[in-house]
């Protein structure tokens, strides 16, 4: 599937109906999701792989991974109500994805997801709860040797020092995330946030 075809399919994935501020629920825009997935696919990390999506929300990254040939995809989110939207999205897209309720950071969550070849994720940036992104980084490296994550622009240094002995940032791709007015504290109708797709590889112990 070509990049623009993937993007077109992902445009059809329904977003959050009543997004929670506390959980930082923003859907990844289709062009950014497609870019992350396509890049991972070119690196050989999607086709035939077992892929995990941490904080999957309504499932855009998980569904995209399945659309471009992942062998098995598991999406996890703390909010059960969004998982029912994710399940409908997968069905409408004609792919099979397992969506599990779970809070990243809780003990036992890594084993309920199981080992993956690749993690894709757009975790909370920690704008509402400081360090909300940390358990996502920890869990991703526990379960997979390769991680493709979306972070605030300028996070590379933090991520690199945070993962230190556990992994290294292989590559950083800049992108923009356009956010439509979602929450009352947003002052503009559309805001563009500079983000970075980071490709992280786990270090072999
Ligand atoms: N990955 C989706 C959603 C991004 S928004 C997409 O790309 O569109 C971040 C998601 O993380 C939300 O769905 C929110 O419910 C979920 N989330 C926030 N904290 C979480 C936690 N500790 N454990 C699991 N999910 C969490």
Asked whether the CA dihedral 89, 149, 33, 176 is positive or negative, the reply is positive
Q: Are 73 and 65 in contact (CB under 8 A)?
A: yes
Residues with CB under 6 A from ligand 1: 23-28, 55-57, 60-61, 77-79, 82, 103-105, 122, 124
Number of CB atoms found within 10 A of residue 28's CB: 25
Number of CB atoms found within 10 A of residue 188's CB: 9
Please give the model's pTM, rounded to 2 decimal places: 0.95
Which residue segments constitute the domains of the chain, with CATH numbers given?
A: 3-202 (3.40.50.150)
pLDDT of residue 185: 65
Which of 11, 19, 54, 57 to mutate for ligand 1's pocket (most ligand atoms within 8 Å of CB)?
57
CA distance 46 to 120: 10
Mean pLDDT per block of 10 residues along the chain (205 residues) reads: 96 93 91 97 98 98 98 98 98 98 96 98 86 95 98 93 95 86 66 92 88
pLDDT of residue 181: 64
CA distance 44 to 152: 25
Residue 33 alpha carbon, nearest atom of ligand 1:
7
SS3 171: strand
């Amino acid at each position: 599937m070509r990049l623009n075809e993937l993007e077109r399919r992902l445009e059809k994935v329904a977003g959050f109906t009543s997004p929670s501020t506390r959980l930082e629920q923003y859907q990844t825009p289709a062009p950014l999701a497609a870019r992350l997935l396509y890049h991972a696919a070119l690196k050989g990390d999607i086709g035939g792989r077992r892929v995990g999506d941490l904080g999957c929300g309504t499932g855009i990254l998980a569904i995209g991974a399945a659309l471009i040939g992942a062998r098995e995809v598991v999406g996890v989110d703390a909010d059960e109500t969004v998982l029912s939207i994710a399940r409908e999205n997968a069905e409408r897209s004609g792919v099979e994805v397992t969506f599990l309720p779970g809070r990243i950071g809780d003990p036992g969550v890594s084993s309920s997801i199981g080992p993956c070849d690749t993690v894709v994720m757009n975790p909370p940036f920690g704008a509402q709860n400081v360090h909300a992104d940390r358990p996502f980084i920890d869990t991703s490296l526990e379960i997979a040797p390769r991680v493709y994550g979306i972070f605030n622009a300028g996070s590379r240094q933090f991520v690199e020092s945070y993962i230190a002995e556990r992994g290294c940032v292989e590559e950083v791709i800049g992108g923009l995330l356009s956010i439509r007015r979602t929450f009352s504290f947003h002052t503009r109708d559309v805001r563009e946030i500079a983000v970075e797709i980071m490709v992280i590889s786990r270090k072999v112990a």
